[in-house]
Amino acid sequence: MKTRRLITKDRKVLNREITGLTSPNNRTQYFESIPLDQLFDICRQWHLEPLQEDNTPWDGFLCGRQGQCSFRLGDTSNLDHPAGPCEMLEEVKGGCLQLSWYKMESGRYEIVSYVM
């Protein structure tokens, strides 16, 4: 089976969708919590699943007032069902979800996220 590659054109469209969540109408959106579910849902619409180190779907939590992380993305385009928690996926080449967060004095989070 050939490894899927995320092409530049698709990555740009995907990043526009992520920006639509984090900065709708070019205005920064602030969040009560880190919007992982919404970011992951956008990726899943493209048949991309954020992965853990063992190539199974990511399952965890983020903590701290500020931080950053990278999620490798797995290919679910060949599955006829959502990826199960123990299902190993092949990593997509040319695609990695970047996320950084900062909790402001107001208690709301500023989020920067994109796929590179």
**Tens digits of residue pLDDT in 53-73:** 999 999 999 999 999 999 999
Determine if the pTM surpasses 0.75: yes
Q: What is the pLDDT of residue 1?
A: 60
Other beta carbons within 10 angstroms of residue 8's beta carbon come to: 9
Q: What is the mean pLDDT of the chain?
A: 94
Helices 36-45 and 8-22, interaxial angle, to 10°?
150
pLDDT at 38 over 80: yes
pLDDT at 9 over 70: yes
**Tens digits of residue pLDDT in 19-32:** 999 999 999 999 99
How far apart, in whole angstroms, are the C-alpha atoms of residue 11 and residue 2? 19
Question: Percent of the chain at pLDDT above 70?
Answer: 99
The DSSP result for 5-63, as a single string, is: B--HHHHHHHHHHHHHHHSGGGS--EESS--HHHHHHHHHHTTEEEB-TTSSBP-----
Q: How confident is the model at residue 79 (pLDDT cuts 50, 70, 90)?
A: confident
